[in-house]
Amino acid sequence: MTVDTPIAGPDTASPPAWLWFEQALLDTGWARSVRIGLRNGLIDSIVTDVAAAPDDSVHATGLPGLANLHSHAFQRGMAGLAEVRGSSRDSFWTWRETMYRFVDRLRPDEVAAIAAMAFAEMLEGGFTRVAEFHYLHHNIDGRPFANPGEMAEAVAAAAEQTGIALTLLPVFYAHSAFGGAAPVEAQRRFVNDLDGFQRLLQESGRATSNLPDAVLGVAPHSLRAVTGEELRAVCGMSRGPIHIHIAEQVREVEDCLAWSGVRPVDLLFDTVEVDRRWCLVHATHTSPGELQRMAASGVVAGLCPITEANLGDGVFPAADYLAAGGVWGVGSDSNVSISAGQELRMLEYSQRLLQRSRNVMADPAGGSTGGAMVRDALAGGAQATGADVIAGLGEGQVADIIALAAPDGSAAPPGDHALDHWIFVTGDGSIDAVWRRGRQVVKEGRHVARPDIVRGYARALSRVLSDA
């Protein structure tokens, strides 16, 4: 797998650089007039209440990059293709048929090009790490590639090209329904037995070994795609993060109840030990008791508000979960639209519509909604993706930083108000610069390799869609 213009490289290539922010969210809270020295990919020094030096890169508001805890990068290529109504009632399940037809045609080079587009947009949208829930493993005919990690290498190449930090989650997928039902033909590129998955995991480790800060975990796809025995075996294969799709759909809950007599989150907790390494993706249709179990165990709820709205999944009971002390983060999932700020806006607005009240995701004791959401999403995203836990920028941390421009060039709104403006007012237009491991990967809102990435993406997509 070759890539054009790789962004990530040896740390020794990083020149020392100085950034200056009118204000920055530090691990000690907001600070004014902040000068940050970057060296070898890390935050080398932070000085507050100091004027900018002549060569400093000057910005309004600085904060840590967020982790995108759930992505299927290749689905970026079908964004906009499933917004046409068929003769029947459209749902997640009809969308999945479109996804299966799209996935049938993808080759490794095309996956790399599409993933690079998705990852570049993630960086532009405020995400500096992505957890890639990677389930497209085999060749078009369903047979494994000679190297089982071929597709993992395609994802890793896209991470290298764009510079995003990668948490790779190879997916174990074996069945089409609860009770170990045989997979269907459309799932042939996803399925493995346990021995095949072990090999895939080894090769995935090799594929990511040269990426700085890469993390490797596992993802049993869903309770319908794995048996209890397989679930326990897959969890035993990794010390990294464990992610699973759960309770996204009402039908999935009904099928689970019909087969096991209990709801999905209860079934998961009854089957394996679930702890802070886990991310329960969606968890949309959960009972109060299930929410309590999730919160008490310290798992991260992996919320994907834009995709959940796009697919008509439902609304996560966030108010009850927050009241129970639950941890959460956000993911871009189907990548139909990629933006950390928009995910947070959609999350809060869906809760307002559901609750018929305002500022649902804020701290119940009061305070800024944007501030509370960004802090929660930073901590939950870092936990779920196996990154060092980041509450704010601090010396010694990997230099993953986003800069928000001040609205219309005026002074930055102070402290958390800048986050409220970003999420609820100005959106992605606020993000003018992003550094990933100390290198500037986004300038004036655009990824520095965007022209090459767009060319590769357009080439890949025209070939894939011309086969339609």
Contacts of 147 (CB under 8 A, 6+ apart): 153, 203
Residue placing its CB nearer to Zn ion in the complex, 173 or 422: 173
Residue 432 as a binder of Zn ion (CB under 5 A): the answer is no
Give the range of 100-108, 166-174, 249-257, 328-336 binding Zn ion by CB under 5 A. 328-336
C-alpha 226/C-alpha 191 separation (Å) is: 10
Instruction: Pick out residues in 145-184 that bind Zn ion (CB under 5 A).
Output: none
Residue placing its CB nearer to Zn ion in the complex, 244 or 449: 244
DSSP state of 276: T
Residue placing its CB nearer to Zn ion in the complex, 162 or 310: 310
C-alpha 27/C-alpha 392 separation (Å) is: 4
Residue placing its CB nearer to Zn ion in the complex, 121 or 333: 333
- Please pick, among 243, 245, 282, 285, the residue that the annotation labels catalytic: 282
Distance in Å, CB of 169 to Zn ion, minimum: 10
Beta carbons within 10 angstroms of residue 86's beta carbon: 10
Distance in Å, CB of 449 to Zn ion, minimum: 26
Question: Do 114 and 457 touch, CB atoms closer than 8 A?
Answer: yes
Contacts with Zn ion: how many residues (CB under 5 A)? Answer: 1
Instruction: Let me know if 333 is a catalytic residue.
Output: yes
Nearest CA-CA partner of 316 in 278, 275, 280, 358:
280
Give the range of 135-143, 250-258, 332-340, 343-351 binding Zn ion by CB under 5 A. 332-340
- Tokens standing for residue 238: 């990794």
Instruction: Let me know if 270 is a catalytic residue.
Output: no
Residue nearest to Zn ion (CB): 333
Residue placing its CB nearer to Zn ion in the complex, 71 or 430: 71
Contacts of 69 (CB under 8 A, 6+ apart): 131, 243, 279, 281, 300, 302, 329, 330, 331, 380, 381, 384, 385
Distance in Å, CB of 82 to Zn ion, minimum: 14
Distance in Å, CB of 244 to Zn ion, minimum: 10
- Tokens standing for residue 289: 């008791």
Distance in Å, CB of 336 to Zn ion, minimum: 12
Nearest CA-CA partner of 37 in 28, 50, 29:
50
- SS3 per residue for 164-180: CEEEEEEEECCCCCCCC
Residue placing its CB nearer to Zn ion in the complex, 333 or 432: 333
Q: Which amino acid is at 88?
A: S
Q: Which amino acid is at 465?
A: L
Burial of 16 (0-12, 13-18, 19+ CB in 10 A): exposed
Q: Which of 333, 348, 400, 416 binds Zn ion (CB under 5 A)?
A: 333
- Tokens standing for residue 74: 């290749």
Residue placing its CB nearer to Zn ion in the complex, 72 or 138: 72
Alpha helices (H) in 283-397, listed in sequence order = 288-297, 305-310, 318-323, 340-355, 369-385
Give the range of 94-102, 252-260, 326-334, 403-411 binding Zn ion by CB under 5 A. 326-334
Distance in Å, CB of 248 to Zn ion, minimum: 8
C-alpha 40/C-alpha 443 separation (Å) is: 20
- Coil, strand or helix at 260: helix
Site mask for Zn ion (CB under 5 A), range 362-401, x = bound: ----------------------------------------
Beta carbons within 10 angstroms of residue 25's beta carbon: 27
Q: What share of the chain is helix, strand, coil (3-state, %, to 5)?
A: 40, 20, 40
Beta carbons within 10 angstroms of residue 411's beta carbon: 10
C-alpha 251/C-alpha 236 separation (Å) is: 29
Give the range of 13-21, 173-181, 331-339, 447-455 binding Zn ion by CB under 5 A. 331-339
C-alpha 20/C-alpha 352 separation (Å) is: 37
Distance in Å, CB of 71 to Zn ion, minimum: 8
Give the range of 186-194, 317-325, 329-337, 339-347 binding Zn ion by CB under 5 A. 329-337
Question: Do 328 and 301 touch, CB atoms closer than 8 A?
Answer: yes
Distance in Å, CB of 334 to Zn ion, minimum: 7
Residue pointed to by tokens 């039902």: 181
Residue placing its CB nearer to Zn ion in the complex, 333 or 376: 333
Distance in Å, CB of 281 to Zn ion, minimum: 6
Residue placing its CB nearer to Zn ion in the complex, 22 or 333: 333
Give the range of 113-121, 287-295, 311-319, 330-338 binding Zn ion by CB under 5 A. 330-338
- Please pick, among 333, 376, 416, 432, the residue that the annotation labels catalytic: 333
| Catalytic residue set | 282, 333
- Binding positions for Zn ion, rule: CB under 5 A: 333
